[in-house]
Amino acid sequence: MNDPQLASDGGRTTEVGHRFVQSNGIRMHIAEQGEGPLVVLLHGFPETWYSWRHQFAALAAAGYHVVAPDQRGYGQTDRPEAVEQYSQLHLAGDIIGLLDALGAEQAVLVGHDWGAQVAWNTALLRPDRIRGVAALGLPYLPRGPVSAVVGMTQALGPGFYMNYLQQPGVADAELARDAREAVLRLFQWGFGDSPQAEAPVLPVVPEGGAFLDLLPEAGALPLWLTEADLDVYAADFARTGFSGGLNWWRTMDLSWELTAPWQGAPVTVPALYMHGERDGSVQLPGMDQLIANLQMFVPSLTRTVALPGVGHWTQQERPEEVNTELLKFVGGL
């Protein structure tokens, strides 16, 4: 399959090709544009390849082969039923399998949200295959004495939202009742001009409550999101449900166990870290210290960029600024 689909870049319209490849035992859908050194764009939750619609043209025009997969569990890519098949080792394996399928010895990885964690971990596990990492939103999380979800639960209590998302079938059914509304409320929660950005709310589900209780009621679309954009996301998640993405949370403890051999190991490849100043995920306990000292764990970190007024949906909220930083970073490798 190689049907073109439109993606926007600063008001321009470009053609993005689509096809399927086999990677790490799954059938993976990819969107791609351009020729040259490979740059792989890894989305987060609740997103798909489409979250990078503003990046294709800029990177392709600069001489890169830009590829954005629907990651395991999302979009048109396979969604294995077994939860344990969503560990970070599986997800990193998907990226190495993608490079193999594309005949690329190396690539630059650009990741946002959960995609940033996959990018960091793939570089940690296979630095021979990764030329550099640009992470948006999530800094590198070095393996600690307990898993991240256990650590956050110790800090914020059992209502910490990740515990709720880990319950089999619960958040899946809640979000799937109205996929369009769920996606919109998640996007409204995390962007820079949202009410929560003025007074951040701790991500703790009230006793007897639900995940959507944390989110604002669906209202007007944020300025960076059009009805057509929301239609794309809503159609994908109405068809697939949310279980594939939620399974990434359900393997956090498993991933922590499996990565014990890399305890204390740094990410050695060149790296760029970028986040919105109003991103709630960087306001969790301990994140300020981690970001300030990130070079201890990523010694080849070239730059940390904090985007003023920007929330969690970095590359969709401020595509031109993000593209400028990405081109500067990739061009300097």
Which residues fall within 8 angstroms of residue 33, CB to CB, at 6 or more apart? Answer: 7, 14, 15, 16, 17, 56, 57, 59, 60, 65, 66
Q: How far apart are CA 331 and CA 65, in angstroms?
A: 13
Q: Is there a catalytic annotation at residue 279?
A: no
Distance CA(79)–CA(242), nearest Å, equals 10
Residue with tokens 């498993």: 254
User: What residues pair up with 38 in beta bridges, in sequence order?
Assistant: 65
Task: Look up 113 and say whether it is catalytic.
Answer: yes
For residue 138, give every residue at least 6 positions away whose Cβ sits within 8 Å of its Cβ, in sequence order, or none: 111, 112, 113, 114, 116, 117, 120, 281
Strands 5-9, 26-33: pairing kind: unpaired
Compute CA 290 distance to the chain's CA centroid, rounded to the nearest angstrom.
19
Active-site residue, selected from the candidate residues 54, 112, 275, 312: 312
Token digits for 58? Answer: 């800029």
- The active-site residue out of 70, 94, 113, 229 is 113
Inter-residue contact 108 to 39 (CB < 8 Å): yes
Find, among 278, 160, 151, the residue nearest to 211 by Cα: 160
Residues annotated as catalytic (active site), given as ranges: 113, 312
